Amino acid sequence: MNIIQLKLMGEQSLYSCFKCRTHLSRNVDIISKSFQSNNGRAFLFSHVVNIKTGPQEDRQLITGLYLVADVFCSYCGQKLGWKYEKAYEESQKYKEGKVILEDIKIVEEIWITTKLKLMGDKTGHRMYSCFQCGTPLSRHDDIVSKSFQSTKGRAFLFSHVMNTKTGAREDRQLITGLHLVADVYCADCGVSLGWKYEKAYEESQKYKEGKVVLEKIKIVEEKW
Ligand SMILES: [Zn+2]
Ligand SMILES: [Zn+2]
């Protein structure tokens, strides 16, 4: 049996079989989280690996008649959901070839790829980590400025942060002018930490582009 190990890029997370933890899909492959199965909520994925399908059969679902096949974990055989082989109604054709995995049958695993590397680093580094979960976020050496302000008080500008994810980008009027920014969250616990400057419209502020502000009250300094 050939089990595929999914490779994640950056801040992706993956879904694996709840029983044996075989990789199944990634968060970026989710089309919709608002499907229903007999076991509760279910997700529609565009692409799933390490599954096998049962026999195809016509099945009447809430949204119409489909040709479906049950989907099983190819390692442990656990039933995970179903695959839409064919949709008979035109409006449902987008589901063809796609796979439903039931929420209770899968586990989301967020991979903090840089965490271990950092923890194994030589000691003596001054680090900043998430105040809520302790995930390492940046190093003291990566501070560009300590004199930034947020609505919650003092904030630091970092040239490089890790283990974070960003929200939607939006233009925001800040004290120093208009910037395209995205809020920044801890990739581990999800708490809001600050924002990232995606783009500065004023020439004098261009140095901030790609850099991240973390609010002082959201980070904890640690010595490693
Ligand atoms: Zn399994
Ligand atoms: Zn956290």
Q: State the residue range of the domain holding 99.
A: 13-110
Taking the centre of ligand 1 as the mean of its atom positions, its distance from the CA of residue 102, in whole angstroms, is 13
Report CA(72)–ligand 1 centroid distance (Å).
8
- Note the ligand closest to the C-alpha atom of 134: 2
> How many Å lie between the centroid of ligand 1 and the Cα of residue 116?
26
Q: Which residue has the tokens 């920044």?
A: 184
- Domain membership flag for residue 88: yes
- 9 CA to centre of ligand 1 in angstroms: 23
Q: Measured in angstroms, how far is the CA atom of residue 19 from the centroid of ligand 2?
A: 27
Reading the block at residue 102, the tokens are 């039931």
Ligand nearest to the CA of 214: 2
Q: Which pLDDT band holds residue 224 (cuts at 50, 70, 90)?
A: low
Let me know whether 103 and 141 are in one domain.
no
User: Do 126 and 188 have their domain in common?
Assistant: yes
Burial class (CB within 10 angstroms; exposed 0-12, middle 13-18, buried 19+) of 86: middle
User: Residue 160 and residue 205: Cα distance in Å, rounded?
Assistant: 17
pLDDT at 142: 87
Ligand nearest to the CA of 24: 1
125-150 tens-digit pLDDT: 678 999 988 888 988 888 999 999 88
The pLDDT value given to residue 114: 47
The pLDDT score that the predictor gives to residue 115 is 47
Q: Are residues 105 and 38 in the same domain?
A: yes
- Centre of ligand 1 to C-alpha 78, Å, is 6
CB of 181 closer than 8 Å to CB of 196? yes
Q: Whose atoms come closest to the Cα of 135: which ligand?
A: 2
Query: Which ligand neighbours the alpha carbon of 129 most closely?
Result: 2
Count structural domains, the chain: 2
Higher pLDDT, 109 or 219: 219
Amino acid at 215: E
In a domain, 129, yes or no: yes
Residue 62's pLDDT is: 85
Q: Is residue 147 part of a domain?
A: yes
For residue 116, pLDDT beyond 50: no
Match 């209770």 to its residue by tokens. Answer: 104
In this structure, what CATH number is given to the domain that contains residue 66?
2.170.150.20
Q: pTM for the full model?
A: 0.51
155's CB contacts (< 8 A; 6+ apart) are 148, 149, 194, 213, 214, 215, 216
* Residue 6 belongs to some domain of the structure: no
Order of strands across the sheet that contains 99-102: 30-37, 40-45, 99-102, 79-87, 64-73, 51-61
Asked which of 63, 84, 110 is the last residue of a domain, the reply is 110
In a domain, 176, yes or no: yes
Do 34 and 71 have their domain in common?
A: yes
pLDDT above 90 for 197 = yes
